[in-house]
Amino acid sequence: MIDALLHAVPLVFAPMNILAMIIGVIAGLVVGCLPGLTVVTGLAVLIPLTFGLDPLFALGMMAGMYNGGSYGGAIPAILMRVPGTPASVATVLDGYKMTQKGQAAYALQVALLSGVIGSVLSSIALIVLSPPLVSFSLLFGPIEYFWLGILGLATVSSLLGDDLPKGLIACGIGLLIGAVGQDISNGTERFTFGQLELLDGFSAIVLLTGLFAVPPVLQMVEEAVKTGMSGDKLKLHAQGSVLRQWRYFMPVWLRSSVIGIIIGILPGAGGSMSSFLAYNEAKRVAREPETFGHGNPEGVAASECGNGADNAASLIPALALGIPGSGVAAVILGGLLVHGLRPGPQLFREHPDIVYGFMLQFLVTSLMLAVLGGLAATRIFGQVLRLPRIVLAPVILLFVTIGVYSVNNAVFDLWVLLGVGVIGYVLERLDYPSAPIVLGLLLGPMIESQLRLALTISGGRTAALVSTPIAITLALLSAAILLTPAWRKLRMSA
């Protein structure tokens, strides 16, 4: 391995390949920060263009795009309360509050460095730990995925807000939306009302964008503020430097990275779950959990670090087994195949320089992100905020509209955006939290389908659900997460 790594170094740092990585990171930042556009879209366009090119050129672009895109989502999440990707929803919770407190630049820096730390650790895990992590990921079958979904849903306990029934209602609404569409095991159409567009259910990106982007636009119109943010809110001075506070963030970073890497190697779990789990864990162990959701930088750090750590890790099962750990990894697999690189153990034997080169590119692009991401966020994107807020409102709407349209190229989705946006506004006005909706929406289908698969395979025996050590561990963890807030309250009152 060391040998292969050394061989790969000159390839990775060839001028053309460095250029490829820079292009990739920038392109990733662009697609990531635009709501509705995802890294998957960017890669799908990119792959056919890389046909005749050197594999490491193409792979460098892909690695850059993956890393850039995962941080890109945090920029609008922090600055405008509009998550660019599903994974940055948890970043909104504290990130936007920090912006409101005048700490926009600091919040961006926290997000960036946390994302970079997560990506770097994840890349190292990819390089060093691939084989053992692969065998770990194979231990997960339907039973384990069911419990993993429950574990993810349990983190809702940290997102419920101050009013318990309202938090639960929000979660229920999300679960219900997740049930829309064709039931894959018998073809029953649930709540589709004869609409072809709903057979596959609502698109998560469309819902998310409507839920998070439309309410602030309406609010901006209501407020009709005719001035913009002052320029110095975007300068870092007097807002604190994350690098100098590394001791403070280190525990959060380590925990979140481990969570992100574990979720990353499990195909089908995905980035948003990593960030929610990491956020929940940071809040759970915090001395003052009540400060989360009110602009605690640790919340931003946990969410973005978990999200960044998910990236390279999701390629572990993809490279070693050909099982993509995320939508992006699936497209990257397609890109590898185009270059004749067939995933599996033989890939490491036959093309070690390319495999390890690709892994190194993940590491290098994470570090590039630290520079490029910071520039993009404050120098370009941040400056947009200096526009009068009332002028900014239609701009957000334009980008959201086109982004949502391009998800499925369907006008239908624009009406969904409108409907969901208005409902989102009402919910927000009535203090219903939005994050549980997202969690329910993303995890509900996974929980239901995996439970039914598990029961089909076991022949209907419910006892099978607690028949493996991992299942029992996950179940106990879920219970611990759910009970922590209650236990804390008990201890406080005692």
Binding residues with other proteins: total (CB under 8 A) = 108
Q: Which is nearer to other proteins, 126 or 180 (CB)?
A: 180
Q: Least CB distance from residue 152 to other proteins, whole Å?
A: 16
Nearest to 41 by CA among 494, 404, 287, 416: 404
* Chain residues 336-355 in contact with other proteins, contact rule CB under 8 A: 337-340, 342-346
DSSP state letter for 377: I
Map the footprint of other proteins across residues 379-438, applying CB under 8 A.
387-388, 390-391, 393-395, 397-399, 401-402, 405-406, 408-411, 414-415, 417-418, 421-422, 426-427, 429-430
Element (H, E) at 258: helix 246-265
The residue among 138 and 472 lying less far from other proteins, judged by its C-beta, is 138
Q: Give the helix ranges, DSSP H, for 339-388.
A: 345-350, 352-375, 382-384
Whole-angstrom Cα distance, residue 436 to residue 167? 7
Give every CB contact of residue 7 below 8 A, 6+ residues apart in sequence.
352, 353, 356
Whether the CB-CB separation of 415 and 252 falls below 8 Å is answered with no
Residues 174-233 touching other proteins, rule: CB under 8 A, are 175-176, 179, 182-188, 190-191, 196-197, 199-200, 214, 217-219, 221-224, 226
Burial grade of 426 (CB within 10 A; 0-12, 13-18, 19 or more): exposed
Smallest gap from residue 222 Cβ to other proteins (A):
4
Give the shortest CB-368-to-other proteins separation in angstroms: 20
Q: Which region among 84-92, 137-145, 232-240, 273-281 touches other proteins (by CB under 8 A)?
A: 137-145
Binds other proteins (CB under 8 A): choice among 128, 139, 238, 254? 139
- If the CB atoms of residues 226 and 247 are measured against other proteins, the closer one turns out to be 226
Asked if 313 and 265 count as a contact pair (C-beta separation under 8 A), the reply is yes
CB of 142 to other proteins, least distance (A): 6
C-alpha–C-alpha distance, residues 376 and 231, integer Å: 15
251-290 binders of other proteins (CB under 8 A): 267-268
* Between 169 and 258, CB nearer to other proteins: 169
* Binding track over 31-60 against other proteins, x by CB under 8 A: x--x--x--xxxxxx-xx--xx--------
334 binds other proteins, rule: CB under 8 A: yes
Residue closer to other proteins by CB (options 112, 175) is 175
Least separation in angstroms between CB 279 and other proteins: 24
Name the one residue in this structure whose structure tokens are 């993810």: 152
Closer CB to other proteins, 40 or 302, in the complex: 40
Query: 147-175 in b/e burial notation, b at 16+ Cβ within 10 A?
Result: bbbbbbbbbbbbbbbeeeebbebbbebbb
Binding residues among 359-378 for other proteins as defined by CB under 8 A: none
User: Minimal distance in Å, beta carbon 357 to other proteins?
Assistant: 18
Please state whether 340 falls in left (phi above 0), alpha (psi between -120 and 50) or beta.
left
CB atoms within 10 A of CB 296: 21
Comparison of 113 and 355: residue with beta carbon closer to other proteins? 355
C-beta atoms surrounding 92 within 10 Å? 25
